[in-house]
Amino acid sequence: MTDQQNKLSQNEPAQSNIRPALLTFLCILSFIGSGLSSVSNIFVFFNHELLTGMLDSGVFEEFGFDMKILTDTNKQYFLITGLLHIISFVGVRHMWNLRKAGFHLYAISQLLMLIVSTVFIYRPANVFPFFDLVLAAIFILMYLRFRDIMD
């Protein structure tokens, strides 16, 4: 084997472990979304009474914000979705490292978030979570394209 062929064969395994640009972009978007959502949901869970009191006092009415969802939603919803976003974040971290288990963690957590949101928010309001469903499906299908390159 020549030196050039030897160099090419040494580079082949390294090439297979390179994360595609689209996967990197999706992971960055998911890191931002899951990270911020987990922090905000857990913050609301621990400060739910304070936030409810502030909203009931009318502090935000002059700004025109409709924050009724915070007062109408069960406090446990914010804890559950915060934890699911943490699981989603962990799944994205695994996909960043090209581990197939990350895809499964991410997909399951996204589907569970749809179910939890439907039970706590959409069903009482008689609304179908179309936008949430489409957004979750797009990300899951985009990540599915890269599952074959993951270990």
Closest of 113, 45, 50, 112 to residue 79, by C-alpha = 45
Cα 23–chain centre separation: 15
> Looking at residue 2, what is its pLDDT?
52
Residue 151, pLDDT score: 87
**The 3-state secondary structure of 79-143, one letter per residue:** HHHHHHHHHHHHHHHHHHCCCHHHHHHHHHHHHHHHHHHHHHHHCCCCCCCHHHHHHHHHHHHHH
For 39-97, write each residue's pLDDT tens digit: 999 999 999 899 888 887 777 777 777 777 778 889 999 999 999 999 999 999 999 99
C-alpha Rg value of the chain to the nearest Å: 21
Annotate 59-79 with b (16+ C-beta within 10 A) or e (fewer). eeeeeeeeeeebeebeeebbb
Q: How far apart are CA 150 and CA 145, in angstroms?
A: 10
What does the pLDDT look like over 105-129, one tens digit per residue?
999 999 999 999 999 988 877 888 8
Per-residue confidence band for 22, with pLDDT thresholds at 50, 70 and 90: very high
> Do 84 and 34 meet the contact criterion of CB atoms below 8 Å apart?
no
Helix (H, G, I), strand (E, B) or coil at 57: coil
The CA-based angle 74-77-83, given to 5 degrees, is 155
